[in-house]
Amino acid sequence: MAYTITHFAPETRGRIDAFFNRFGQGMNAYLESRARCAEIEALEAKTDAELAGMGLTRDRIPAHVFRDTYWL
């Protein structure tokens, strides 16, 4: 016969919740950085004339992509 525990002590439940909370936040950061890497690659693939038309230079691409997260 097998037994299944369906009730956890509050401190155990808190540790489990904290683990999944940190894991979820890490996944969000990872996925957002991957999306931004793709945007940087797309901008780096443009010609200097195309970038100038957007008001960018190559050295300002990272600042442009991360402008909402960093004060640059």
pLDDT confidence of residue 46: 97
Residue-wise pLDDT for 9-65, tens only, equals: 788 888 888 998 888 888 888 877 778 888 999 999 999 999 999 999 999 999 998
6-24 pLDDT, tens digit each: 777 788 888 888 998 888 8
For residue 7, the model assigns a pLDDT of: 74
Q: How would residue 71 be classed by pLDDT, with cut points 50, 70 and 90?
A: low
Q: Which residues of 22-44 are buried (b: 16+ CB within 10 A; e: fewer)?
A: eeeeeeeeeeeeeeeeeeeeebe
